[in-house]
Structure 1
Amino acid sequence: MIKVFYLLAFAAGMGSVAPSYSASLPALSYTTETKGPVPIPPSERTLQTITAQPYFKVSDKGLQLEGAVFDLQGDLRFVDVFGDRVYRLTRDLKLTSFATPPGFAPAGLAVHKDGRLFIAGLGNFKDSGGIIATKADGSDVETIIPPSAGFLVDDLDFDAKGGFYFTDFRGNTSDPKGGVLYVSPDGKTITPVLPNLAVANGVAIGPDGKTLWADELSAGALHKVELSDATTIAPFGTSIPYHFIGPAPDSMRVDSDGNVYVAIYGQGRILVFNSTGIPIGQILIPGRETGHNLRSTSMAFRPGTNELLILASDAQGGQGCSIYHVTAFAKGASTFAHP
């Protein structure tokens, strides 16, 4: 009985003692480098860094812009994914557009040597994407890859022979069923080149015509592939030279020095890699440090120059969607399908 009394008294005494707090405890605090929704990772803070300048306000709405490319007339083309539209911005900043088929969800563009626009679409985002080709004004629609093929086509890039690579946007990190495929110049054969990717997104051919670059949106990986021919990987020809931190690699372009520019969707910036896949620079979109204009998706080199135009959207952040520009390391690589 005495033991019970002392145990109860001890328990009651412990319950009445408030926990102590000392101001001398080690404390975490935000710094200028870590504050904000998308801080630049420590390993990338020492890269050469520039901030893009505004070039053109596309809309006050946060449209999902993608697929930047210049056509044979020297006009900038790009798409609005959820608006089913293809835009044309002339050098004197006049903006026009035409509609794709309803529900096509255009996501990527490439220009054939005959001037036709090849438009990649995500369809229902499950199994009904494809590619159509149109004249420059959107007329004479031709199906290149039908929805029945089952791909989600996100991006594409022509090679020197007139064939093209495209990315299949399917899968996730536990079910990587997307990849990079090649369509022969006659359009009759589709050959898998780099399968088993988790939401393959950007794709580009290096200026040597033998280096294929691609990235995975979900897995956050940059792939470098050395090719023996258009559909054959050279022995020991694959590598993953870089893993991205945070969201998420999107479209890419290459310059004449072989550098690779990758848009980071969700971070408002572009990472630049040299021809071996080592990061050498980055481009920031204005407003990113406060959470604006984070949907940086795509970019294009003005033909014959090192002016790089970048698409970015603020989504629901209130600042709409715009085009920005910078001077890149080198001139854009020649578009192989052009004359």
Structure 2
Amino acid sequence: MQKSTLVALAIALTSRLSLADNSDTLPTLNYPTQGQQLYATAAAEKDLLTITAQPWFKVTGEAWQLEGPAFDRQGNLLFVEVLGGQVLKVDTQGQLQVAVAKNARGSAGLAIHKDGRLFVAGLGNYVDTGNLTVYDANGKKPEVIIDANKGFLVDDLVFDAHGGFYFTDLKGTSTEPTGGVYYVPADHKSIVPILPNMANANGIALSPDGKRLWVTEFGTGLLHRVELKDAQSIAPFGAVVVYRFHGPSPDSMRVDADGNVYVAQYSQGRVLVLNPNGLPIGQILLPGREAGHFLFSTSMALKPGTREVYLVANDGDRGQGSMIFRARGFAQALPLFSHQ
């Protein structure tokens, strides 16, 4: 046998022995004791001012998808249960009531008019039969404002000072952006496109002066800031993306009196707070998220006259049901019906 062949065989044998002998010392990635770190935050947000909310009210032991919390003039907290279509209410005595019974229209968002009427956004069949239905303050006398045959998936809405409202159309995907943002004037006779071609337009809010519209895009993880020329048009160069969220996925949002934007992070169990320039300045975590609980945080309400933030979430298949949590934000809530 040639010397070169022997050398090659020796090197091969040594390599095999080396691989076998060193396997126990191979650098290894291991999960922490809490599990797969679904609660982890991006490096850019890790060192933000951070607080953890407290449990306030347990809605049910089931994993209901809660959305759209809003306070009425009497101080009751109303919110929707998405799959069942019902509107629920925690009154000032801490009692849970049904404001609108279960129905086939579905429910995804809620806004309360200054006259007490409930504007309920519905997803219908979750494909193309979304709607917007208005009820009186007692949850009766339904009146359809946006009919199911219009082809929208009405997800969330916010009133403006002119008596109209903006709403998000949740349609589309990250590669087929067919949703958007629309405006309905006070007479409810038209639907005006504002931001078309969006991938699951979701949360929507107005700045304290009503001149800046904020929108989250669920499918692409974007935060849009829109400077309005008037109620139905955007100022020149006024529509920009000011933040790209990390991980899934920006859901509903609210604005405080200082113009800070509170965005629920669905699947992360937290709310990220950004200043009026769209830069993150703080976050509110939900308790138990480090063990994978209450990651499905969808929305929040800011209680008028206070700095209190009420966050709604559910525990998915982890067994702790659906809950409302409470914390304090940076600034007071906007006055009730400030944009109407």
Structure 1-normalised TM-score?
0.92
Paired residue for 1:175? 176
Q: Which amino acid aligns with 1:184?
A: P
* 2:315 aligned residue: 314
Q: Residue 223 of structure 2 aligns with which residue? A: 222
SS in 2 for 1:19: helix
Partner of 2:146: 145
* CA distance in structure 2 between the partners assigned to 1:16 and 1:40 by the alignment: 41
Gapped runs of 5+ residues in structure 1?
Answer: none
Once residues 167 and 242 of structure 1 are traced to their aligned partners in structure 2, the CA distance between those partners, rounded to angstroms, is: 18
- Per-residue CA deviations over 1:132-179 (Å, capped at 9, x if unaligned) read 000122111100100001000000000111100000000001100101
Q: Which residue of 2 aligns with 1:302?
A: 303
Q: Which residue number in structure 2 is paired with residue 237 of structure 1?
A: 238
Structure 2 match to 1:19? 19
For residues 98-131 of structure 1, what are the alpha-carbon distances to aligned partners after superposition, in whole Å with 9 as ceiling and x for unaligned? 4456321200000112110000000000000010
Counterpart secondary structure, 2:19: coil
Measure the CA separation in 2 of the matches of 1:296 and 1:259.
19
Moved more, 14-23 or 192-201: 14-23
Distance 1:313 1:332 in 2: 24
**Quick check: 2:53–2:326 contact (8 Å CA) kept in 1?**
yes
Q: How much does 1:14 deviate?
A: 9.5
Other-structure match for 2:262: 261
Paired with 1:86 and 1:31, the residues of 2 have a C-alpha distance of 40
| Corresponding position of 2:90 | 89
CA distances 1:269-317 after superposition (whole Å, capped 9, x unpaired): 0000001100000000011111110111111111211111110100211
Q: Which amino acid aligns with 2:229?
A: S
Amino acid of the structure 2 residue aligned with 1:19: L
Q: Percent identity?
A: 51
Hey, what does 1:106 align to over in structure 2? 107
Matching of residue 277 in structure 1 with residue 278 in structure 2: yes
Alpha-carbon distance between aligned partners in 2 of 1:335 and 1:220, rounded to the nearest angstrom:
29
Is 1:306–1:330's contact at 8 Å kept on the other side of the alignment? yes
Q: Does 1:248 align with 2:249?
A: yes
Are 1:195 and 2:219 matched, yes or no? no
The correspondence of residues 118-137 of structure 1 with structure 2, limited to 5 A, is: 118-137=119-138
What is the distance in 2 between the residues matched to 1:269 and 1:79?
19
**Cα distance in 1 for residues equivalent to 2:42 and 2:32:** 13
Report the RMSD for the aligned CA atoms in angstroms.
Answer: 2.6
Are 1:75 and 2:99 matched, yes or no? no
Cα distance, 1:33 vs structure 2? 10
Name the SS of the counterpart of 1:106 in structure 2.
coil
Residue 238 of structure 1, CA deviation: 1.3
Q: State the Cα distance separating 1:186 from its structure 2 match.
A: 0.8
Count matched residues. 338
Q: Is the 8 A contact 1:118 1:132 kept in 2?
A: yes
TM-score normalised by length of structure 2: 0.92
| Alignment partners' CA distance in 1, 2:87 and 2:30 | 46
